[in-house]
Chains A and B, each alone.
Chain A
Amino acid sequence: MRIVVAMKAVPDLVEEIELTPDETDIDREYLKFVLNEWDDQALEEALLVKDATGAEVVAVGLADDPDIDQALYTAIAKGADGAVMLEGGGADTHSRAAAFAEYLAKEPADLVITGVQAPDDLDGQLAPMLAARLGQRHVSVVVGVEAKDGNVVVRQEFSGGRAHVLELPLPAVIGLQASRETPRYAPITRIRQAMQAGGVRGESVSTDVASSGLSVRRMFRPEQTSHAEMLEGDVDDIADKILELLRERGMVKG
């Protein structure tokens, strides 16, 4: 079984995000990019399936994503059998889905696992869009994937803790919410070894950009209708103030 993990580098949300001068996009120039956290979970889940079945796992990213090579080498260091960096494709999900679909037409996968969402997928999520382009079945918000007799058994989660266990034939595309185990750690020495071994292969895909159909009029920071009143003083003063508030409400004795 061949599993492809589709990966995306996204702005690190810890950083302050600036807008372009026309305020219709984020300014990527000085931003730090990291692997989409849900894609990290997707990789872990793929590696767990590999551990159980001996499946081949290939991590695939788009060359235009800043620092995606870092994520791909890390994937190899964690146990992926290979990595592919696609030249071409666009920035929005519709274009990305077209690029991954073109690659998968050339090198098909039995199973594609990718993050259920990304912080910047304004025009929708990759997994269902890619599945639609490939004409395959798909399930999103999945918290566990197991391969079983040519099928895949997944656990799909709903609000309030309900879940469905679904079984579907391969090939299929899975949008992963959370892996069964915390994503494994790759020591820096092994990532360096992967980089020296140069295991990331380049592939070009056409740059026909699929239209998202969205026209961004403006981006803005949400108006803060209210902001918390910030407590003043040192840690002692703040602790006192918090306990006083709880005492007033009868929630702390004394």
Chain B
Amino acid sequence: MSGNVLVLAEHIGGEVQEATYELLGKAKELAVALGGEVEVAAFGPASLADQLGGADVVVSVDHPALAEYNPEAYEVALLSVLRERGPRLLLLSNATIGLDLGASLSVHWDASLAAYVGALQVDGDAVLATAQVMGGKLHAEVELTGERGICTVLAGAFPASAGTAPAAGSEVVAFATPEGLDNVQTKLRSVIEPEAGDVNITEADLLVSVGRGIESQENLEMVQELADLLGAPLSASRPIIDSGWLPKTRQVGKSGLKVKPKAYLAFGISGAPEHLEGMRDAELIIACNTDESAPIFDVAHLGTTEDLFELIPALADKVKG
């Protein structure tokens, strides 16, 4: 059985993303324990290999269908690479690309799959993953049985620094064009870049942030008033954005923006991993949530279970003097 660990490189316009280095760093450690090497699949221009010196082997597939991420083309190419290279373990990011490919490759490549992985280790011959389930309220330590496994790994689970350190000798393998890549039916029609023009919440010293606990769009007015009084932009967790109550530019979290203000006031935010990832580095976090077991309190410095519908007006009144 191979002891190799393969990482799929993610890039935007040829620039390898932080998440890939996080995976590469961990892959090195696991490959040593499994007696194998680190391989990275680089789909797109052959020049990607220049940024992937941290791997022992760069498997490069350069084809027009792979210029930008395309779920069908990537699946065809990655399955082909997996069958040819036969690694023990495939690491993907638990973001869009990993959410597309992990579960389908689990079937096509006949591999066990652990999702939402926050920790990984080798125990004897076994690969053990710790996954965050139930919105981060529970962790599950699982063994990936069988000859091959796939883990989709949460962003920020491992440091990126280990993944950028160069490997002793890095080999680049130009992979023959996988069958089917010329016949991909999923077409990329357009790329939408993040909206600009609204306030940039990543530049604010103070953020007033609101989550599902606010209950309705009408109630946002009350939080907006407090934010205005404090001279802070209003930001929010994913459910508020998905409901269309605030624009995407105000979203804090994995699929939104990462913020690092001097102070972050969180009202009615329970703290799903998606959200915590975007704000845990704030210097001071004060959280208000009626559920004392909510995960937001694990990253907050100060907290209260006071009803936000009482606390927000009280704060506003006091700021007004």
Question: Is B300 in the interface zone, CB < 8 Å from A?
Answer: yes
Q: Are B72 and A216 in contact (CB under 8 A)?
A: no
A137-B186, A213-B146, A215-B143 as given contacts; A26 in contact with B310, CB under 8 Å: no
Task: Given A231-B306, A252-B230, output 7 extra A-B contacts at Cβ < 8 Å.
Answer: A126-B103, A132-B103, A139-B100, A158-B69, A167-B186, A219-B138, A231-B302
Residues of B within 8 A of A (CB): 12, 68-72, 95-96, 99-108, 111-116, 128, 131-146, 149, 152, 155, 185-195, 205-206, 230, 232, 242-244, 248-249, 251, 254-257, 262-263, 265, 270, 284-287, 291-293, 295, 297-307, 310-311, 314-315, 317-319, 321
B207 to chain A, nearest CB (A): 11
Q: Which residues of A contact B138 (CB under 8 A)?
A: 17, 19, 26, 219-222
Closest to B147 in A: A213
Q: Which residues of A contact B284 (CB under 8 A)?
A: 245, 249
Q: Which residues of B contact A54 (CB under 8 A)?
A: none
Q: Which residues of A contact B133 (CB under 8 A)?
A: 119-120, 122
Q: How far is the CA of A11 from the CA of B133 in the complex (A)?
A: 11
Select which of A156, A218, A222 is within 8 A of B96 by beta carbon. Answer: A156
Q: Which residues of A contact B143 (CB under 8 A)?
A: 214-215, 217
Select which of A159, A162, A227, A251 is within 8 A of B262 by beta carbon. Answer: A251
A155 to chain B, nearest CB (A): 7
Interface size on A, residues (CB 8 A): 86
Q: Which residues of A contact B103 (CB under 8 A)?
A: 93, 124-129, 132
Q: How far is the CA of A227 from the CA of B300 in the complex (A)?
A: 7
Question: Is A140 in the interface zone, CB < 8 Å from B?
Answer: yes
Question: Is A239 in the interface zone, CB < 8 Å from B?
Answer: yes
B164 to chain A, nearest CB (A): 19
Q: Are B318 and A239 in contact (CB under 8 A)?
A: yes
A247 to chain B, nearest CB (A): 10
Question: Is A207 in the interface zone, CB < 8 Å from B?
Answer: no
Q: Are B139 and A133 in contact (CB under 8 A)?
A: no
30 A-B Cβ contacts within 8 A?
Answer: A13-B135, A13-B270, A17-B137, A26-B134, A120-B134, A122-B131, A124-B115, A131-B104, A137-B72, A140-B96, A158-B255, A161-B256, A163-B191, A164-B68, A164-B188, A166-B186, A168-B186, A177-B255, A181-B244, A213-B146, A214-B113, A214-B145, A230-B305, A235-B307, A239-B318, A242-B302, A242-B315, A243-B318, A245-B284, A246-B230
Q: How far is the CA of A96 from the CA of B286 in the complex (A)?
A: 41
Residues of A within 8 A of B (CB): 11, 13-14, 16-17, 19, 26, 41, 93-94, 97, 116-117, 119-129, 131-133, 137-141, 153, 155-169, 175, 177-178, 181-182, 212-222, 224-231, 235-236, 238-243, 245-246, 249, 251-252, 254
Q: Which residues of A contact B144 (CB under 8 A)?
A: 213-214
Q: How far is the CA of A93 from the CA of B107 in the complex (A)?
A: 11
A214-B145, A235-B310, A243-B315 as given contacts; A155 in contact with B291, CB under 8 Å: no
Q: Which residues of B contact A123 (CB under 8 A)?
A: 106, 112-115
Closest to A217 in B: B141
Chain A interface SS verdict (over half)? mixed
Q: Are B115 and A219 in contact (CB under 8 A)?
A: no
Q: Which residues of B contact A178 (CB under 8 A)?
A: 242
Q: Which residues of A contact B139 (CB under 8 A)?
A: 219-222
Q: Which residues of B contact A235 (CB under 8 A)?
A: 306-307, 310-311, 314
Q: Are B263 and A224 in contact (CB under 8 A)?
A: no
Q: Are A245 and B286 in contact (CB under 8 A)?
A: yes
A180 to chain B, nearest CB (A): 9
A124-B106, A156-B96, A168-B185 as given contacts; A213 in contact with B113, CB under 8 Å: yes
Q: How far is the CA of A120 from the CA of B116 in the complex (A)?
A: 10
